[in-house]
Structures are given as structure tokens and as C-alpha cells.
Structure 1
Amino acid sequence: MASESPDESKVGRIFAEQRQYMVQREKGYRERALKLYPWICGRCRREFTRQNLRELTVHHINHDHGYNPPDGSNWELLCIYCHDEEHSKFESFVRYGGGPRRGHDAPATSNPFAGLKDAIKDKKVKDDG
């Protein structure tokens, strides 16, 4: 038996790396979401095939890319256009509408009801007396 040529060895290694990459990718949230949900945009209802599947994205509903429950409850399939629109709306809401601003909100330092108990007690004493 002849040994493998350097070119055959390199091709075999490339194929092994590709197989490993595919296995790892199958475990990713995009691949899991594509197996769970029909290939339809959740907003505009555009349908996708293998030819244009790259235009279908996985949107994290709560905007936390680290939260990927196995049931897919934090995912929504959106076409690239609807996904961009969703993130534009979210950023506008955060910037102008009062949602939580990442790292900008200071914690509350006062208690607006701090003297309420004493005020009620004083009022009762005045009313009773």
C-alpha cells in the first residue's frame, strides 16, 4: 500500500475540520431555531428556501443574545429587513422612549415615602385632639 501524498493528507484534514465545524454549528442557536420553526419571517410572512435562507435571521426577543433556552422561546425568525427594523425600533425606544439604557441609569437613592408613616400619625393626632 502506498502512503497518502501530502495533498491527500491536507484534503483529508480539511474535510475533517469541515465536518467538525458542521457539528459545532448544528449546536448553535441559529441551526436549532431553523429546525424548530418554519422558514417564514415572523413579521412580513416572507417564505424562505435553501437558496435564500441566509437572509433569514434569528432575533432574540428579549435582546439578550446569551439567553438561548432549548425550547426556542426567546427566538423569532425574521428576514434581514424586518430584523433591522426591529433593532431600530428598540434602539429608538431606549434612546428616546424610556426603556432601560444600558449602563446609563443610576440607581434610585431616595425613598419618596420615607416620612409618610410619621405624617399619617401626626395627622391622626391632630384630627383626634
Structure 2
Amino acid sequence: MGQPDGKRLDAIVARAQQERAQREHGYREKALKRFPWVCGRCGREFDRRNVRELTVHHIDHNHDHNPEDGSNWELLCLYCHDHEHQREIGPATGPEQPRRKGRGAAPQSTHSPFAGLGDLLGRDPEQGSD
């Protein structure tokens, strides 16, 4: 009846990873041929020795959207690329900040992790600490 579920799933994941790597290699090569080897944010220049530190950033964050004209790509150094993705998710953690477009406000925490700590330690809250 075919492979057991675990092996079948492993094969599917391996194939998906391989296809992704091939797709990524394709658009990376195209972007490196099309654009100068300069980070689009900080302006750092790259050459053959360090070009591996230059990434292709998808402007719309969709790695499957790779138009031949490169209109969805920009070259960013590793640091600026990380910062770009942190910028998208970073502010979303604060109170009353939208998580992403159209998702409303982020919920505020009502949990107080140390609320019963004095009781757990057997101390009288009126005494204070030693």
C-alpha cells in the first residue's frame, strides 16, 4: 500500500525543501545579475568574497512572487534583512498596536505572574522582605 505515514511525510517535506531551495537559487541568481551588489538600506557594498551575506528580500513578503523584472526584490545585507522582518513584527507586541494590517489591536495581558508569590513563599505580605 505504499510507504508508512512517517516516511511518506518525510519524503514530502524533503521534496518541498528541495523545490524551495531550487526556486530560491533561481531568483537569487537573477537578482544578483540584475542589481548592483549593494545593500538597499545601509549602502554596504559586496564583492565575491562576501556576497553570501547579501540576501534577496521580497518586498511583498511572498517568496513565490518572483516577477522576471525583479520588481518584488531588493538586495539587503543580512543585518538589514533581519531588521526589515523585525520591523514588521516588532511593534506588534506593544499594547494597542495593530498586529498586522486589518487584524485589530493587540490584546493586553491581564496575567500577573507574581501575584501570589508571597503566599507561595510563606511570607506575610505586610512584613515586607528581609
Alignment gaps of 5+ in structure 1: 1-23, 107-129
Cα distance in 2 between the residues matched to 1:91 and 1:79: 19
Which of 36, 39, 43 is residue 38 of structure 1 equivalent to?
Answer: 36
**Structure 2: gaps of 5 or more residues:** 1-21, 105-130
Mean Cα displacement is larger for which, 90-99 or 30-39?
90-99
Matched AA of 2:64? G
Q: TM-score, normalised by structure 1?
A: 0.55
Q: What's 1:100 paired with?
A: 101
So what's the TM-score if we normalise by structure 2?
0.54
Instruction: Give 4+ residue runs of structure 1 displaced > 6 Å after superposition.
Output: 24-27
Deviations 1:19-71 (A, max 9, x none): xxxxx679711000001100000000000000000000000011111111110
Alignment identity in percent? 60
2:74 counterpart SS class: strand
Q: 2:80 aligns with which of 70, 79, 82?
A: 82
- Letter of the 2:48 partner, please give it: R
- Aligned 8 A contact 1:43 1:82 in 2: yes
More helix by share: 1
Query: What amino acid sits opposite 2:61 in the alignment?
Result: H
C-alpha spacing 1:51/1:27, structure 2 compared with 1 (3 Å): closer
Give the whole-Å Cα distance in 1 for the aligned partners of 2:41 and 2:90: 19
Count of residue pairs the alignment pairs up: 80
